[in-house]
Chains A and B, each alone.
Chain A
Amino acid sequence: MNINKFTRSACFPLLSIITAIILWQLIAVYVVNNRFILPSFTDVIRAFLDLCISGTIFQDFVVSMVHFFIGLGLSLLIGIPFGVLMGWFPCVNRFFDPLIEIIRPIPPLAWIPFAIVWFGLTDLAAGFVIFIGSVFPILINTYEGFRNVPKIFVEAGKMLGCTNSLKLIRYIAFPSALPHLVSGFRVACGVAWMCLVAAEMFGVSNFGLGQKIWWYYNLHQMDNVMVYMLVLGFVGLIIDFIFRLGIKRTLLKWREGEVN
């Protein structure tokens, strides 16, 4: 009875994290006993505090965020209009679909050499790699959303005076497709975050959370590498959390109860 109650309480997930930290600390100190191969929890905390005091970690965070938002912003700016046009006008789809199907399978990281050649070692180069990674989930989900607008909504809209394509897209198709857009954006955020680390590691940038992982690896400071790894994980988690909380409570309020 009491155990059942405890496993459902809010502190139960906390227990798993605490257990993992204790295990990590014990293994690092008593089994591995080598800071290079496995820095302990306390080593990582100490390294994190040092990095905070010196301030470099904040600079890296800001630079990474700049890359992230350049890439994702470009994806939204290009992916959504293209997705809308392709979903709404079949001829646009037939024209662009072959091109997209050829370019899409190229892994985003394969674009890194050209990103450097075209944009140099700038924030834009990192942003470009992130853009390549995140534009397709946005484009394809927008397209799917617009292609699957229920016919009855379009007809009801027409009967009520929403007669030209521009109005139909704005008042009927866009809100109806919004759940698709949102899930596309969420997938894009995940892909963008992965591309960010890779782009920064390959020297596209001189700062950034990903770049510093490689930098400290070369200095053999594995405790600092671990700090940056965890920061990347936490920032990714927070981005997803803000996104879920923000969008589902406001834009998609009308879907409560419709799904789960």
Chain B
Amino acid sequence: MGVLEISHISRVFQKGDDEEVVALSDIVLSIADDEFVSFVGPSGCGKTTLLRIIAGLDKATSGTVILDGEVISDPGQRVGMVFQEYSLFPWRNILDNVGFGLEMRGMEKEERLKVVRRYISLVGLSQFEKSYPYELSGGMRQRVAIARALATDPDLLLMDEPFGALDAQTRNHMQCELLDIWETKKKTILFVTHSCDEAVFLSDRVVVLSSRPGRIRKIIQIPLSRPRDRTQKEFIDLRRNILEMIEEDEQDKERIKCNSGN
């Protein structure tokens, strides 16, 4: 199960003594079981902050996050997270990285290895199980990170721009791989990205946030059936639609006017 209720989440950062920055304001959102939801928005709109609150790594100033009827207040194994940066433990090989959560749970070594090998083969890295992270490419490292987050079988998977640092080809391929995994494992996934293309390609729904204070500007259903074609007209229209919303928001900021576009 992975039904998420986000109710009236606000987050205020204290800056100095009297200055306050409102990062998130009154976010209300319900997410169904096995749904794939992306968050997009201009930089600084608080999408990462929202994800961190859902993870339990950050505390909301007000409001609650409820997963399957239970409030999330601390980080734990009910929620899996794939970070933007490189977060694998460099001192552990791939087997031990993916097995970390199960080890913390106190699972016997032999049983653990069985589960871990299944997840490593799910991301196609079986021949690298003894390698250390420094020996892997960026795409392979993020695959391991996905396997590690999934190995404890969390109800909810959070992904914070997981493919942001990858090159375009690897990135497109990883998106397809992620959808395959999502189809087989059936998880609720919340995915933060700055790429509208990625959001439209992957999601059931795209949540567009506006910046300062971060609010939900619009929630867009993606009615296209999978596998999706990036060159299809509906796909392009949806993408343009979302992009325009973000651009409008960015125009308020101080920016140099460009002749070749916005």
User: What is A's interface to B at a CB cutoff of 8 Å?
Assistant: 152-153, 155-163, 167, 171-172, 175-176, 178, 253-258
Residues B79 and A159 in contact, CB atoms below 8 Å apart: yes
Instruction: Give the B interface residue count (CB, 8 A).
Output: 29
Residues A178 and B100 in contact, CB atoms below 8 Å apart: no
Residues A256 and B79 in contact, CB atoms below 8 Å apart: no
The A contact surface, by secondary structure, is: helix
Partner of B101, one of A153, A155, A161, A178: A161
Residues in chain B near residue A253, CB distance under 8 A: 132
B81 in contact (CB, < 8 A): yes
- Interchain CA distance A253-B131 in the complex, whole Å: 11
Output the least CB separation between B137 and chain A (Å).
13
Residues B85 and A152 in contact, CB atoms below 8 Å apart: yes
**Given A155-B57, A175-B89, A162 contacting B135 (CB threshold 8 A):** no
- Find residues 150-184 in chain B having any chain A CB closer than 8 Å to their own CB: 152
**Given A161-B104, A162-B104, A171-B104, A155 contacting B89 (CB threshold 8 A):** no
- Interchain CA distance A157-B148 in the complex, whole Å: 11
Residues B101 and A160 in contact, CB atoms below 8 Å apart: yes
| Complex interface bits, B75-119 against A, C-beta within 8 A gives 1, otherwise 0 | 111011101011101111100000011001100000000000000
The B contact surface, by secondary structure, is: loop
Residues in chain B near residue A157, CB distance under 8 A: 89, 100
| Residue of chain B at shortest CB distance from A253 | B132
User: What is B's interface to A at a CB cutoff of 8 Å?
Assistant: 55, 57, 74-77, 79-81, 83, 85-87, 89-93, 100-101, 104-105, 132-135, 148-149, 152
Residues in chain A near residue B75, CB distance under 8 A: 155, 158-159, 163
Partner of B74, one of A163, A171, A256: A163
| Residue of chain B at shortest CB distance from A178 | B91
10 A-B Cβ contacts within 8 A?
A152-B83, A153-B87, A155-B57, A156-B89, A160-B77, A160-B100, A160-B101, A178-B91, A255-B90, A257-B135
**Given A161-B105, A161-B152, A254 contacting B79 (CB threshold 8 A):** no
Residues in chain B near residue A258, CB distance under 8 A: 90, 134
> 6 shortest A-B CB distances, which residue pairs?
A160-B101, A161-B104, A158-B75, A175-B91, A156-B87, A161-B77
Output the least CB separation between B81 and chain A (Å).
5
Residues A152 and B87 in contact, CB atoms below 8 Å apart: yes
Residues in chain A near residue B92, CB distance under 8 A: 175, 254
- Interchain CA distance A161-B93 in the complex, whole Å: 19
Residues A156 and B90 in contact, CB atoms below 8 Å apart: no
Residues in chain A near residue B55, CB distance under 8 A: 159
Residues in chain B near residue A255, CB distance under 8 A: 90, 134
Output the least CB separation between A146 and chain B (Å).
15
Residues A161 and B76 in contact, CB atoms below 8 Å apart: yes
- Interchain CA distance A258-B152 in the complex, whole Å: 29
Output the least CB separation between A88 and chain B (Å).
18
**Given A171-B104, A254-B134, A160 contacting B91 (CB threshold 8 A):** no
- Interchain CA distance A229-B80 in the complex, whole Å: 60
Residues in chain A near residue B79, CB distance under 8 A: 159
Residues A163 and B76 in contact, CB atoms below 8 Å apart: yes
**Given A155-B57, A254-B132, A176 contacting B91 (CB threshold 8 A):** yes
Residues in chain A near residue B90, CB distance under 8 A: 254-255, 258
Residues in chain B near residue A167, CB distance under 8 A: 104
Which residue, A156, A157, A178, A256, has most C-beta atoms of chain B within 10 A?
A156
- Interchain CA distance A255-B81 in the complex, whole Å: 25
Residues B132 and A156 in contact, CB atoms below 8 Å apart: no
- Interchain CA distance A176-B92 in the complex, whole Å: 10
- Interchain CA distance A254-B85 in the complex, whole Å: 19
Output the least CB separation between A84 and chain B (Å).
17
Residues in chain A near residue B76, CB distance under 8 A: 158-159, 161, 163
